[in-house]
Chain A
Amino acid sequence: MRVVVIGAGVIGLSTALCIHQQYHSALQPLDIKVYADRFTPFTTTDVAAGLWQPYITKPSDPQEIEWNKQTFDYLLGHIHSPNSEKMGLALVSGYNLFREAVPDPFWKDIVLGFRKLTPRELDVFPEYSYGWFNTSLILEGKRYLEWLTERLMERGVKFFQRKVESFEEVAQGGADVIINCTGVWAGTLQPDPLLQPGRGQIMKVNAPWVKHFIITHDPDGGIYKSPYIIPGLQTVTLGGIFQLGNWRETNNMQDHKTIWEGCCKLEPTLKDANIIGEWTGFRPIRSKMRLEREKLHFGSSNIEVIHNYGHGGYGLTIHWGCALEVARLFGKVLEERNLSRKPPSHL
């Protein structure tokens, strides 16, 4: 069984790992290859701040709620290990701030210690009158991708740098199943009018005294357009840019100003912070993520494609639940081909 995963961001690598974990003993040989034109540190995942937090509104697909929870619980399980920081994982607490009262989010019982902010806490943020406090997780994209890459290489998964132009070329190369994790660039392999870039720009600064995430919400602006401050394992990410349809990959001066002014207003101590760098990434925005099977026919050959893209700004937040779902669909493919002799091993 030859599997090709296209894409080496968090979605591609975690899906590859999940499939290998579940099927490598039941299915021999299981040959998994990762094809990508971008690897860490050049993927969208590398630009993400890495805070586990879904959108505050309920997803249109209730399955996503379950996938978010599975991801949180899976990551929380790793918190106790001595290697958690090597994975890019740490517990972090912080604030979500609003200008008016809002209903509690669907994920309030998934995170730890969720509660509303007290009046004295709100005094810290004079522009905001309502908010939440909870403990969540940081999963730093770059470190996590490095960790995933190590786990995959240990398992004999091979990586190839190449720009895939079509599913057909991969099929003709001998793949049986393709896992399509091409993120915001999925449209080049198969047109998808629902998929758009949600351009983001972030700065990383040295501000080790900042121990909490601070996420502001603007009822008119929409998600990610309002300033946010998210501490990582070594540096702090500052952001607040979201531009639908903007494909410009270079950093923009006006956006730099918007981020810096917005975040310094929120946390005045940032004025002392050294800026380490600035990056742009494209959130793969889609009205609903695409996680489904598709059979493609090229001449006389059929190939199974499992799409797993369009995770917007919550890819890291939902990745493991989606990987498990893809693994389940992969199991169905095997059943249909009478290939699974034993029940898949669940690690």
Chain B
Amino acid sequence: MDAVRVAVVGAGVIGLSTALCISKLVPGSSITILSDKFTPNTTSDVAAGMLIPHTYADASIHKQKQWFRETFDHLFAIANSSEAGDAGVHLVSGWQIFRNLPTEEVPFWADVVLGFRKMTDAELKKFPQHVFGQAFTTLKCEGPVYLPWLEKRLKERGVLVLTRQIQDLWELYQSFDIVVNCSGLGSRKLAGDSQIFPVRGQVLKVQAPWVKHFIRDGSTMTYIYPGASNVTLGGTRQKGDWNLSPDPEISSDIFSRCCALESSLHGAYDIKEKVGLRPSRPGVRLQKELLVQEGRRLPVVHHYGHGSGGISVHWGTALEATKLVSEWVHDLRISTPKAKL
């Protein structure tokens, strides 16, 4: 039986992890990743990678919790192994604080993270403008380390990685049997999806190694996320803004907002500005589509639109995308053993 040739478009966290899942779970698949951008130039490289889920309007809480749990458990196992440093995954504790009592004191993901509890009054004293807070331990999964680690795992498994800019999914028809579209914002063009739009995020990556805890304001606009090689200070949520150049006024504003929460940040040095465009959509598109054109048929699995939550749910959604790929593989094998559709 010939190998099923799978093309994965996109090499951010979604593309790479989906390719890895397919390689592990779909026997007889031969995988090629095609992307114009690779780490450290993907959106995943700008994200801090904190495992705190975003809530999607268009997906059931049950499903979102499952995706988050699968991702957390998967990364937790890596964090506890000697691979953790190579994979860029580590535990970090901290606080999510609110200026007003939130409607939901215990979010759906509280029992997925570790040690979730309300902050004590003594702990809240550190944040005089805030009236309520949650303390917990979660994981940080850092793009610039995790993505190269994924690429290494993929190459070990014989997955081919190519630099190509795909203008149209039909370009892949000749050489591939199934296309997995993990192109994030690129799907606006590649899938003709007008529901996906950028939410621009500007961040500062600074040196402040004495900051050991994350601090996140419940409005989610201001956050401090300490990592292995820097601290990410954020941020912004600018809908429909495609501008990838950092705005110095915004940087200044981010810095003051963060210093207000953690005044030792005044001593931060080696400050770098970065911008990422979150591939936002009311819900993640996890869907099979059969493209048809002049008698040719191209099975596609769409896997994009994770917005702010890409790293938080990537493994769970990759598993689901892999299931959809398996379904296509099954269909291909029973319809005609050898020929292309």
Q: How far is the CA of A238 from the CA of B266 in the complex (A)?
A: 29
Contact partner, B213, options A85, A91, A117, A118, Cβ 8 Å: A91
CB <8 Å contact, A268 and B90:
no
Is B264 positioned at the interface, with any CB of A under 8 Å from its CB? yes
Q: Among residues 208 to 237 in chain A, which have CB atoms less than 8 Å away from a CB atom of chain B? A: 208-212, 231, 233-234
CB <8 Å contact, B212 and A133:
no
CB <8 Å contact, A82 and B267:
yes
Binds A, one of B115-123, B152-160, B245-253, B273-281: B115-123
| Chain A residues within an 8 Å CB radius of B91 | 124, 211-212
| Chain B residues within an 8 Å CB radius of A121 | 114-115, 137
CB <8 Å contact, B263 and A81:
yes
Contact partner, B212, options A80, A86, A123, A231, Cβ 8 Å: A231
CB <8 Å contact, B212 and A208:
no
Q: Among residues 80 to 121 in chain B, which have CB atoms less than 8 Å away from a CB atom of chain A? A: 80-82, 84-86, 90-93, 114-115, 117, 119-120
Q: How far is the CA of A209 from the CA of B231 in the complex (A)?
A: 11
Whether A268 contacts B119 in the complex (CB less than 8 A), given A113-B135, A208-B228, comes out as no
Q: How many residues of B contact A (CB 8 A)?
A: 35
| Chain A residues within an 8 Å CB radius of B135 | 113
Contact partner, A233, options B92, B126, B209, B266, Cβ 8 Å: B209
Contact partner, B120, options A79, A112, A120, A211, Cβ 8 Å: A112
CB <8 Å contact, B266 and A82:
yes
CB <8 Å contact, A271 and B82:
yes
Is A272 positioned at the interface, with any CB of B under 8 Å from its CB? yes
Is B166 positioned at the interface, with any CB of A under 8 Å from its CB? no
Is A84 positioned at the interface, with any CB of B under 8 Å from its CB? yes
| Chain A residues within an 8 Å CB radius of B80 | 123-124, 268
Is B211 positioned at the interface, with any CB of A under 8 Å from its CB? yes
CB <8 Å contact, A209 and B115:
no
Q: How far is the CA of A311 from the CA of B213 in the complex (A)?
A: 30
Whether A91 contacts B120 in the complex (CB less than 8 A), given A80-B126, A80-B263, comes out as no
Is B143 positioned at the interface, with any CB of A under 8 Å from its CB? no
Q: How far is the CA of A117 from the CA of B212 in the complex (A)?
A: 19
Smallest CB–CB gap between A59 and chain B, Å?
22
Smallest CB–CB gap between B112 and chain A, Å?
10
CB <8 Å contact, A233 and B210:
yes
Is B60 positioned at the interface, with any CB of A under 8 Å from its CB? no
CB <8 Å contact, B84 and A209:
yes
Smallest CB–CB gap between B69 and chain A, Å?
12
Is B229 positioned at the interface, with any CB of A under 8 Å from its CB? yes
CB <8 Å contact, A269 and B82:
yes
CB <8 Å contact, B263 and A209:
no
| Chain A residues within an 8 Å CB radius of B316 | none
CB <8 Å contact, B85 and A85:
no
Q: Which residue of B lies closest to A125 (CB)?
A: B80
CB <8 Å contact, A92 and B126:
no
Chain A CB count within 10 A is highest, among B80, B92, B123, for: B80
| Chain B residues within an 8 Å CB radius of A117 | 115
Q: Which residue of B lies closest to A86 (CB)?
A: B267
CB <8 Å contact, B93 and A211:
yes
CB <8 Å contact, A79 and B226:
no
Q: How far is the CA of A231 from the CA of B263 in the complex (A)?
A: 20
Chain A CB count within 10 A is highest, among B85, B114, B212, for: B212
Whether A90 contacts B211 in the complex (CB less than 8 A), given A80-B126, A210-B90, comes out as yes
* B-contact bits for A84-98, CB 8 A (1 contact / 0 none): 111000111100000
Smallest CB–CB gap between B299 and chain A, Å?
40
Smallest CB–CB gap between A125 and chain B, Å?
9
Whether A208 contacts B117 in the complex (CB less than 8 A), given A82-B263, A84-B264, comes out as no
| Chain B residues within an 8 Å CB radius of A269 | 82, 84-85, 90
CB <8 Å contact, A211 and B212:
yes
Contact partner, A79, options B126, B227, B229, Cβ 8 Å: B126
* B-contact bits for A335-347, CB 8 A (1 contact / 0 none): 0000000000000
CB <8 Å contact, B263 and A208:
no
CB <8 Å contact, B114 and A120:
yes
Is A251 positioned at the interface, with any CB of B under 8 Å from its CB? no
Supply 5 A–B pairs (Cβ within 8 Å), ascending by A.
A83-B267, A118-B115, A210-B90, A211-B226, A268-B82
Footprint of B on A, CB under 8 Å?
79-86, 90-93, 112-113, 115, 117-118, 120-121, 123-124, 133, 135, 208-212, 231, 233-234, 268-269, 271-272
Give the 8 A-B CB pairs with smallest separation, nearest first: A209-B228, A268-B82, A82-B266, A233-B210, A272-B85, A90-B210, A209-B90, A85-B210
Given A91-B213, A112-B120, A209-B85, output 6 extra A-B contacts at Cβ < 8 Å.
A80-B126, A82-B267, A90-B264, A91-B126, A113-B120, A117-B115
